[in-house]
């Protein structure tokens, strides 16, 4: 690829990430879109109704730091009883602009991370827990700290001091970071915390929390639509404008976010499979070892063990 060779989306993901995402036709997303349409009645395209509805759940810029600090503190509080982290681990948060991603963890070494949050577009209340868990606890910050502690320092495996982003390791990293949200906030605990703590901190209407949570759960079921958009775009089947339109129709992505998403595809290409396919493979692997929601202690144990050990995605199947 560095020498100019091009591959199909699936060829590339297999070579880089040891995995190929399933192909889903438009009909796969139809039932979810129909359910969303019933919850968001009105005229006009569904994506416009969805985007208009979400405007009520934007975190005001002057409250952003407070909301994220509360979310990070809760994610850390829920993680620490299950993970023995180095006593000096920490991270700082910066708010940035002009990025193709919504959040990024730049691991600094010595158990420290720099987490950047992109404020180009409005940030909705659900993103506070998403980013605090995914980028922080028990996500990327914990993952990188454990790799440094257990593999580099304890075992002397110096090769793990280098993280090749476009490699199979990223499917494990992104998959655990996304699944870690569910591990840290099982069942209704996330909605409860958002309603009782984050909504008041953001100045939002707490009576709308349950309904918004239900709608967000439905849109999460459209996650693989992003893979299909990237596959079609990178395989040359759709241009940028048509890809953005496809994302609007099947992934409930607003025009501004769809354009940002295509820029992400330009830079990171088939990396997108690591978020959803990675989460599913990690969840299945942990569950296969009795790490299920009815056995939370075991689920945490298997999840942390996966964070701190080198594996290939094919080994999760």
Structural contact between residues 158 and 152, judged by C-beta atoms closer than 8 angstroms:
yes
- Can you tell me whether residue 104 is helix, strand or coil? strand
Buried b (16+ CB within 10 A) or exposed e, 87-104: eebebebeeeeebbbbbb
Tokens for 294? 């009815």
Write down the pLDDT at residue 125.
Answer: 98
Average of per-residue pLDDT across 253-272: 94
Write down the pLDDT at residue 31.
Answer: 95
Q: How far apart are CA 79 and CA 184, in angstroms?
A: 7
Structural contact between residues 93 and 72, judged by C-beta atoms closer than 8 angstroms:
yes
- Taking every pair of Cα atoms in the chain, the longest distance, rounded to a whole number of angstroms, is 62
Residue pLDDT, tens place only, 62-120: 999 999 999 999 999 999 999 999 999 999 999 999 998 999 999 999 999 999 999 99
Other residues' Cβ atoms within 10 Å of the Cβ of residue 300:
21
Tokens for 12? 């590339």
Residue with tokens 């997108």: 272
Q: pLDDT > 70: what percent of the chain?
A: 100
Residue 134 has pLDDT above 90, yes or no: yes
Structural contact between residues 282 and 183, judged by C-beta atoms closer than 8 angstroms:
no
Residue 317 has pLDDT above 90, yes or no: no
Whole-model pTM over 0.85:
yes
Q: How far apart are CA 293 and CA 287, in angstroms?
A: 9
- Can you tell me whether residue 165 is helix, strand or coil? coil
Write down the pLDDT at residue 157.
Answer: 96
Residue pLDDT, tens place only, 165-203: 999 999 999 999 999 999 999 999 999 999 999 999 999
Write down the pLDDT at residue 192.
Answer: 97
Give the DSSP per-residue string, 142-158.
HHHHHIIIIIIITT--G
| CA-wise closest residue to 121 among 141, 142, 138, 98 | 98
Q: Give the ranges where 126-206 is alpha helix by DSSP (H).
A: 126-131, 140-146, 169-184, 189-193, 199-202
Average of per-residue pLDDT across 288-306: 95
Residue 287 has pLDDT above 90, yes or no: yes
Q: pLDDT > 90: what percent of the chain?
A: 96
Average of per-residue pLDDT across 194-218: 97
Structural contact between residues 120 and 180, judged by C-beta atoms closer than 8 angstroms:
no
Per-residue pLDDT band at 47 (split at 50, 70, 90): very high
Other residues' Cβ atoms within 10 Å of the Cβ of residue 234:
22
Provide the angle, in degrees to the nearest 10, between the axes of the packed helices 64-79 and 169-184.
Answer: 90
Q: How far apart are CA 307 and CA 299, in angstroms?
A: 12
Backbone φ and ψ for 90, nearest 5 degrees, come out as -170, 165
- To the nearest 10°, the Cα dihedral for 262, 220, 271, 26? -70
Cis peptide before 138 (omega within 30 of 0): yes
Mean pLDDT of the chain: 96
The distance in angstroms from the start CA to the end CA of the chain is 27
């Amino acid at each position: 690829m560095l020498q100019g060779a091009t591959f199909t989306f699936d060829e590339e993901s297999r070579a880089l990430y040891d995995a190929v995402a399933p192909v889903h036709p438009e009909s796969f997303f139809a039932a979810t879109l129909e359910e969303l349409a019933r919850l968001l009645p009105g005229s006009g395209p569904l994506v416009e109704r969805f985007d208009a509805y979400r405007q009520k759940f934007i975190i005001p810029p002057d409250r952003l730091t407070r909301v994220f600090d509360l979310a990070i503190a809760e994610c850390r509080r829920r993680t620490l009883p299950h993970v023995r982290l180095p006593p000096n681990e920490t991270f700082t948060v910066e708010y940035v602009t002009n990025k193709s991603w919504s959040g990024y963890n730049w691991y600094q070494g010595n158990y420290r991370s720099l987490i950047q949050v992109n404020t180009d577009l409005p940030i909705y209340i659900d993103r506070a827990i998403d980013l605090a868990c995914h980028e922080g606890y028990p996500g990327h910050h914990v993952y990188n700290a454990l790799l440094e502690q257990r593999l580099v320092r304890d075992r002397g495996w110096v090769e793990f001091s280098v993280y090749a982003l476009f490699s199979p390791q990223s499917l494990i990293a992104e998959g655990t970071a996304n699944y870690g949200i569910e591990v840290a906030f099982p069942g209704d605990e996330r909605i409860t915390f958002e309603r009782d703590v984050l909504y008041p901190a953001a100045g939002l209407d707490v009576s709308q929390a349950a309904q918004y949570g239900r709608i967000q759960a439905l849109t999460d079921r459209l996650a693989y639509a992003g893979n299909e958009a990237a596959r079609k775009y990178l395989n040359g089947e759709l241009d940028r404008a048509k890809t953005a339109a496809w994302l609007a129709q099947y992934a409930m992505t607003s025009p501004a976010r769809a354009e940002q998403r295509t820029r992400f595809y330009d830079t990171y290409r088939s990396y997108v499979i690591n978020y959803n396919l990675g989460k599913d493979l990690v969840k299945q692997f942990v569950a296969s070892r009795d790490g299920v929601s009815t056995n939370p202690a075991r689920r945490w144990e298997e999840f942390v063990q996966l964070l701190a050990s080198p594996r290939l995605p094919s080994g999760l199947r």
